[in-house]
A = this chain, B = another copy of it.
Amino acid sequence: MQLGMIGLGRMGANIVRRVVKDGHECVVYDHNPDAVKAMAGEDNTIGVSSLAELAEKLNAPRVVWVMVPAGDITTGVIEELAKTLEAGDTVIDGGNSYYRDDIRHSKTLSERGIRLLDCGTSGGVWGRERGYCLMIGGDPDAVAQAEPIFASIAPGVEAAPRTPGRDGEVAQSEKGYLHCGPSGAGHFVKMVHNGIEYGMMASLAEGLNILRNADIGTRIQKGEGDAETAPLANPDFYKYNFDIPEVAEVWRRGSVIGSWLLDLTAIALQESPDLSEFAGRVSDSGEGRWTSIAAIDEGVPAPVLTSALYSRFASRRLDEFADKALSALRKQFGGHEEKPGD
């Protein structure tokens, strides 16, 4: 079948390559003509220079995948597609949109008889090779229409052993894509997925940091400290110099925490045992925030996921005024002066 692709960044381009590999044809567009030119030469890949041309090159009913930055840019493309496409066509928002935007965009498009699928897409730079995990929301008929595309992009059932108890016919979920529910459901599930990702990443990071500082007893002497700092009670218990890359490696086989994130940790530490080229200013890109807001709205506790989010904020020193207030208070009640930094 045919797929239109709007947005040829890392993700969009790699999705196209998985789709054409299965014999589908892709009509591709990007606001940057060079990106179009770069891909147009590839198998089964036709470049176009406008959304109108994209619509023209696709046979109705069309399926168009939008893979551009979430927020205003996605909204702009959706609104333009509402004018360009026709009733019966399907638009797939594969980016990192807030699920609430999907609900809104879905209404915009449905006024023209166009259906929106929201599709959370996980896999990062490795997806071209491993396939992408797809979490889909929207109209069931539109999902059925686009299913061959989803199947090409997803990893397929052979990517993991089947869960015991699952036999017979292979379910969608086992192939690596899932129709999760009505409009917004896909990005809701992807949002929570990323919230979990933040928590798992922070779990690994905090653990490595504890290992890294297990030598503190060789740096601080027993009883050292003063009125401003807690002395270390038991320096003899903290005299380990762990080889962190080797520890990450050994955990990869047989341990309970075996995971793709651990595999990547091992790669990162293999490349750079001290991670010294990083400053430790950790970005966040929306889903982690939205997950915590969802927990708060639902009234359910998410202390781990939210702690992971706040640690990222703190890594960018966004707690500065709070910290100054604490130092100021300590000076007020105890006459404590701040200790100079190292």
Contacts and interface: CB of A to CB of B under 8 A. Distances in A.
Interface in A226-256: 226-234, 236-243, 246-247, 249-256
Nearest to A122: B255
A57 B203 CA distance: 45
Contacts of A197: 256-257
A202 B73 CA distance: 35
A73 B134 CA distance: 42
Nearest to A272: B328
Contacts of A332: 264-265, 267-268
Interface in A268-295: 268-272, 275-276, 278-286, 288-289, 291-295
A222 interface: yes
A53 B189 CA distance: 53
A311 interface: yes
Contact of A231 (B71, B223, B267): B71
Nearest to A127: B254
A103 B239 CA distance: 12
A89 to B, nearest CB: 25
Contact of A181 (B196, B209, B240, B303): B240
A229 B70 CA distance: 11
A238 B125 contact: no
Interface string A173-203: 1111110111011001100111111111111
Contact of A159 (B188, B253, B262, B292): B253
Interface stretch (A32-40, A109-117, A160-168): A160-168
B334 A297 contact: no
Nearest to A288: B230
A307 B326 CA distance: 14
Contacts of A240: 180-182, 184-185, 188
Given A251-B193, A268-B332, A163 B263 contact: yes
**Among all A-B residue pairs, the 3 with the closest Cβ atoms:** A199-B203, A280-B323, A259-B259
A159 B227 CA distance: 28
Contacts of A296: 289, 292-293, 309
A172 to B, nearest CB: 7
A interface residue count range (under 10 / 10 to 19 / 20 to 34 / 35 or more): 35 or more
Contacts of A264: 329, 332-333
Contacts of A181: 240-242
A208 interface: yes
Interface in A309-332: 309-316, 318-332
Contact of A319 (B100, B188, B301): B301
Contacts of A325: 204-205, 208-209, 265, 268, 275
Question: Considering residues A154, A156, A239, A259, which has the most beta carbons from chain B within 10 angstroms of its beta carbon?
Answer: A259
A133 interface: yes
Contacts of A41: none
A201 B322 CA distance: 9
Given A134-B254, A189-B247, A210-B302, 18 more contacts: A99-B237, A124-B333, A160-B252, A165-B271, A171-B249, A174-B253, A180-B240, A180-B246, A201-B329, A202-B326, A213-B299, A214-B298, A230-B285, A232-B297, A267-B332, A278-B328, A280-B322, A301-B319
